[in-house]
Amino acid sequence: MVDPATGGAAPDAVEQAAFRCAAASEALSEPLAGTASTVRAFLLVEDAGPWGVDALRDSRLPEEVKHRLTDLERSHRIRPLLIRRHRTARRTEAPVRSAGAPQGGARVFAAHVGGVEPWVETALLGHVRDIVDLDVEGLALGRPTGLARHDEPVFLVCTHGRHDACCAERGRPLAAALSEVAPDSTWEVSHIGGDRFAANVLVLPHGLYYGRLLPGDAAELGRRHLSGELDLEHLRGRSAYPFAVQAAEVYLRRHLGATSVEPFALEEHTRQGSESRVVFAVDGLRWALRVHTGRGDPRQLTCRATRTSNGQRHELVGLTVL
């Protein structure tokens, strides 16, 4: 919009163009705990891009692949995500191309993050169309896909700038830094949720979401996960859990100083009104937590949002040993 007094952009237009949801969230000290997307199964598909606002819909993948991935999400509760190497990352493998294939192959990862033993399986497909034939319908139930077991962490840095500017501006420098630390394990990923917490990272197989990571945090994050530990300072939550349970786990881990990536034994989760009761068993003790879930003031939550929303906030109101 043009300001008639100056001939330049109107103040409201300048303010809107400059708005960044991650900076706004950070300025409000919005808590990270309990903000991970709730997903128990992921299917990652290598696609160099470009990625549009809706990565899957706007991708250049064959239509039958798009339809297959869409059906897996709608009918089988499997979250499809597109991945690619950071442009400066070292490539250690070359796809095996199918005879006569019009385009190259693709790396895929199938991950089940629910339960006490989350896992990842992977394959390098000869052609991306081979995804249509993968037996992955039971992934959300924990049924193996028959692909090769992958025992190393997978670091997924959201850099989906067409979806939200913060993901590109904050995610790409982090992807570059993490690629230096763990070049074979790091991928850029399409939208994973929580743009305002950029830079965001999802770590498999445990489904751990992190937020507000800086490039200087990459070495420590990589070191911790390669040694089986998590980063409590930046942890948003474990995606296999509902939001309040995610928050309860973060609060309990901070109380205990417990940093193992392995999940606690979740024994109980009940909710009455705005308060949730969560019971974890840890090293022979049973810990009961009460978490209050409320809503913040209406505000713009993402860079592209056209209306205000009320983000959830989780507050620890009780922690006892049973």
Say if residues 163 and 200 touch (Cβ distance below 8 Å): no
pLDDT reading at 132 higher than 60: yes
pLDDT digit string, tens, across residues 194-205: 999 999 999 999
| Res. 160 pLDDT band, cuts 50 70 90 | very high
Closest C-alpha to 196, from 296, 295, 303: 303
Lowest mean pLDDT segment, chosen from 93-97, 137-141, 257-261, 316-320: 93-97
Distances from the Cα of 49 to the Cα of 55, 60, 145, 188, angstroms: 8, 7, 26, 11
Q: Please list, residue by residue across 120-134, b when 16 or more beta carbons sit within 10 angstroms of its beta carbon and e when fewer do.
A: bbbbebbbbbbbeeb
| Res. 133 pLDDT band, cuts 50 70 90 | very high
pLDDT reading at 139 higher than 50: yes
pLDDT digit string, tens, across residues 12-23: 443 445 899 999
Domains of the chain: 25-241 (3.40.30.10)
